[in-house]
Structure 1
Amino acid sequence: MSRIVQPSTRNAPACATLLLGCTFALAGCRPEPPPTERPPEPQAQAAVLQDAIQAPQDKARATQAAAADAAERQASAIEDASGG
Protein backbone atom coordinates (compact mmCIF):
# COMPACT_ATOMS: atom_id res chain seq x y z
CA MET A 1 0.00 0.00 0.00
CA SER A 2 1.20 3.39 -0.85
CA ARG A 3 0.61 6.23 1.40
CA ILE A 4 -0.15 9.76 0.06
CA VAL A 5 1.88 12.40 1.79
CA GLN A 6 0.12 15.67 2.46
CA PRO A 7 2.26 18.81 2.18
CA SER A 8 2.91 20.49 5.46
CA THR A 9 1.50 23.97 5.96
CA ARG A 10 3.87 24.72 8.82
CA ASN A 11 6.60 25.75 6.40
CA ALA A 12 4.36 27.87 4.17
CA PRO A 13 5.43 31.27 5.61
CA ALA A 14 9.09 30.33 5.34
CA CYS A 15 8.64 29.18 1.74
CA ALA A 16 6.76 32.34 0.84
CA THR A 17 9.49 34.47 2.39
CA LEU A 18 12.17 32.54 0.53
CA LEU A 19 10.25 32.85 -2.73
CA LEU A 20 9.81 36.61 -2.30
CA GLY A 21 13.47 37.03 -1.38
CA CYS A 22 14.59 35.17 -4.50
CA THR A 23 12.20 37.19 -6.64
CA PHE A 24 13.55 40.50 -5.37
CA ALA A 25 17.14 39.31 -5.68
CA LEU A 26 16.61 38.27 -9.29
CA ALA A 27 14.76 41.50 -10.08
CA GLY A 28 17.88 43.43 -9.09
CA CYS A 29 20.03 41.40 -11.49
CA ARG A 30 18.60 42.82 -14.69
CA PRO A 31 21.17 43.63 -17.36
CA GLU A 32 22.05 47.27 -17.89
CA PRO A 33 19.87 48.86 -20.57
CA PRO A 34 21.56 49.65 -23.88
CA PRO A 35 22.91 53.18 -24.20
CA THR A 36 20.49 55.67 -25.65
CA GLU A 37 21.22 57.52 -28.83
CA ARG A 38 23.22 60.72 -28.58
CA PRO A 39 21.11 63.84 -28.88
CA PRO A 40 21.44 65.57 -32.24
CA GLU A 41 24.00 68.31 -32.54
CA PRO A 42 22.53 71.83 -32.53
CA GLN A 43 21.93 73.02 -36.08
CA ALA A 44 21.69 76.74 -35.46
CA GLN A 45 24.82 78.81 -35.50
CA ALA A 46 25.45 81.51 -32.90
CA ALA A 47 25.10 84.25 -35.52
CA VAL A 48 21.69 82.96 -36.58
CA LEU A 49 20.47 82.99 -32.99
CA GLN A 50 21.92 86.43 -32.40
CA ASP A 51 20.17 87.77 -35.52
CA ALA A 52 16.88 86.21 -34.41
CA ILE A 53 17.14 88.00 -31.09
CA GLN A 54 18.55 91.27 -32.43
CA ALA A 55 16.09 91.83 -35.31
CA PRO A 56 12.98 92.52 -33.17
CA GLN A 57 15.00 94.77 -30.89
CA ASP A 58 16.29 96.79 -33.86
CA LYS A 59 12.74 97.09 -35.21
CA ALA A 60 11.51 98.34 -31.83
CA ARG A 61 14.31 100.92 -31.66
CA ALA A 62 13.45 102.17 -35.16
CA THR A 63 9.77 102.42 -34.25
CA GLN A 64 10.63 104.30 -31.07
CA ALA A 65 12.83 106.73 -32.99
CA ALA A 66 10.12 107.31 -35.62
CA ALA A 67 7.55 107.96 -32.89
CA ALA A 68 9.90 110.41 -31.16
CA ASP A 69 10.51 112.25 -34.45
CA ALA A 70 6.77 112.44 -35.15
CA ALA A 71 6.10 113.77 -31.65
CA GLU A 72 8.83 116.38 -32.10
CA ARG A 73 7.40 117.49 -35.46
CA GLN A 74 3.90 117.64 -33.98
CA ALA A 75 5.10 119.74 -31.04
CA SER A 76 6.93 122.05 -33.43
CA ALA A 77 3.85 122.38 -35.64
CA ILE A 78 1.65 123.19 -32.62
CA GLU A 79 4.15 125.81 -31.46
CA ASP A 80 4.30 127.40 -34.94
CA ALA A 81 0.49 127.41 -35.20
CA SER A 82 0.03 129.03 -31.83
CA GLY A 83 2.36 131.84 -32.85
CA GLY A 84 4.92 131.21 -30.21
Structure 2
Amino acid sequence: MSPRAALIPLASALLLAACSGKPPAPQAETKPARVATPWDDMKKDEQRAKDVQKTVDQQAAEQRKQLEAAEQ
Protein backbone atom coordinates (compact mmCIF):
# COMPACT_ATOMS: atom_id res chain seq x y z
CA MET A 1 0.00 0.00 0.00
CA SER A 2 1.43 3.36 -0.97
CA PRO A 3 1.61 6.24 1.53
CA ARG A 4 -0.87 8.21 -0.55
CA ALA A 5 -3.40 5.36 -0.45
CA ALA A 6 -3.14 5.19 3.35
CA LEU A 7 -3.42 8.96 3.69
CA ILE A 8 -6.77 9.28 1.86
CA PRO A 9 -8.82 7.10 4.29
CA LEU A 10 -7.10 8.70 7.27
CA ALA A 11 -7.84 12.23 6.01
CA SER A 12 -11.45 11.25 5.27
CA ALA A 13 -11.91 9.84 8.77
CA LEU A 14 -10.47 12.98 10.38
CA LEU A 15 -12.66 15.22 8.22
CA LEU A 16 -15.81 13.30 9.14
CA ALA A 17 -14.91 13.26 12.82
CA ALA A 18 -14.33 17.00 12.82
CA CYS A 19 -17.62 17.79 11.09
CA SER A 20 -19.90 15.38 12.94
CA GLY A 21 -19.80 16.96 16.41
CA LYS A 22 -22.27 19.48 17.78
CA PRO A 23 -21.30 23.12 17.47
CA PRO A 24 -20.02 24.63 20.70
CA ALA A 25 -22.60 26.38 22.83
CA PRO A 26 -22.43 30.15 22.44
CA GLN A 27 -20.87 31.83 25.41
CA ALA A 28 -22.82 34.59 27.06
CA GLU A 29 -21.34 37.95 26.29
CA THR A 30 -20.27 39.77 29.39
CA LYS A 31 -21.02 43.45 29.45
CA PRO A 32 -18.13 45.65 30.43
CA ALA A 33 -18.32 47.09 33.92
CA ARG A 34 -19.85 50.55 34.09
CA VAL A 35 -17.23 53.23 34.31
CA ALA A 36 -17.94 56.19 36.56
CA THR A 37 -18.07 59.55 34.84
CA PRO A 38 -17.54 63.04 36.25
CA TRP A 39 -21.26 63.72 35.78
CA ASP A 40 -22.52 60.84 37.93
CA ASP A 41 -22.41 62.85 41.16
CA MET A 42 -24.08 65.79 39.45
CA LYS A 43 -26.89 63.54 38.17
CA LYS A 44 -27.39 62.11 41.67
CA ASP A 45 -27.60 65.62 43.13
CA GLU A 46 -30.09 66.64 40.45
CA GLN A 47 -32.30 63.62 41.18
CA ARG A 48 -32.12 64.31 44.92
CA ALA A 49 -33.21 67.92 44.30
CA LYS A 50 -36.14 66.73 42.17
CA ASP A 51 -37.21 64.36 44.94
CA VAL A 52 -37.02 67.14 47.54
CA GLN A 53 -39.05 69.47 45.30
CA LYS A 54 -41.69 66.78 44.87
CA THR A 55 -41.95 66.40 48.66
CA VAL A 56 -42.22 70.17 49.15
CA ASP A 57 -44.95 70.39 46.49
CA GLN A 58 -46.92 67.58 48.16
CA GLN A 59 -46.68 69.26 51.57
CA ALA A 60 -47.77 72.61 50.10
CA ALA A 61 -50.79 70.97 48.48
CA GLU A 62 -51.75 69.38 51.80
CA GLN A 63 -51.45 72.74 53.59
CA ARG A 64 -53.61 74.39 50.93
CA LYS A 65 -56.28 71.74 51.40
CA GLN A 66 -56.18 72.21 55.17
CA LEU A 67 -56.49 76.00 54.84
CA GLU A 68 -59.40 75.68 52.43
CA ALA A 69 -61.12 73.23 54.77
CA ALA A 70 -60.59 75.57 57.75
CA GLU A 71 -62.00 78.59 55.89
CA GLN A 72 -65.28 76.87 55.09
Q: Which has the higher helix share?
A: 2
Query: Rg: which structure is higher?
Result: 1
Q: Tell me the TM-score normalised to structure 2 length.
A: 0.49
